[in-house]
C-alpha cells in the first residue's frame, strides 16, 4: 500500500467527527473544531463537529456546564488557522480560556 494511502486510511480511522442530525434539512451545516485541551469529561482536543453552533453546544452541554470556557474554544474550521496559534500565545484571550479550562479541571470537586 502506498504511503499516502496508508496515511489517508489512518487519518480516516482516527478522525473524531461527530455528525448531528437537525430537524431542518434545508439548513446549511457548518464544521466546528474544539481547540482547547483534552478534558476529563471526554472532550478531546481537535475534535471536529458538523452541524450548527446551537446543536454542537447542546451536544456538549454537560461539558459546558462543568467547564464554561469550552464554549469559547469551539471555532469554525474556516478560522482555525488564525485561532489555533493564539491558543498557545500568552496574553491572548484564547490562551486565557485554554488555561482556564486546565485550571478548572485541576480544581478539586466541591460536594
Percent of the chain with pLDDT over 90: 67
Q: Is the dihedral of CA 55, 60, 73, 8 positive or negative?
A: negative
Instruction: Determine the pLDDT at residue 29.
Output: 77
Interval 32-51: pLDDT, tens: 999 999 999 999 999 999 99
Nearest-angstrom CA–CA distance, 31 and 104: 27
Angle at Cα 57 formed by Cα 68 and Cα 83, nearest 5°? 70
pTM: 0.72
Instruction: Determine the pLDDT at residue 28.
Output: 65
Amino acid at each position: 500500500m502506498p504511503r499516502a494511502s496508508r496515511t489517508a486510511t489512518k487519518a480516516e480511522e482516527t478522525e473524531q467527527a461527530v455528525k448531528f442530525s437537525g430537524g431542518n434539512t434545508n439548513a446549511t451545516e457548518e464544521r466546528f473544531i474544539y481547540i482547547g485541551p483534552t478534558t476529563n469529561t471526554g472532550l478531546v482536543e481537535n475534535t471536529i463537529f458538523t452541524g450548527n453552533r446551537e446543536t454542537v453546544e447542546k451536544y456538549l452541554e454537560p461539558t459546558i456546564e462543568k467547564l464554561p470556557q469550552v464554549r469559547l474554544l469551539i471555532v469554525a474550521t474556516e478560522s482555525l488557522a488564525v485561532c489555533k496559534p493564539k491558543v498557545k500565545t500568552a496574553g491572548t484571550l484564547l490562551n486565557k480560556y485554554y488555561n482556564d479550562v486546565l485550571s478548572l479541571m485541576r480544581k478539586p470537586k466541591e460536594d
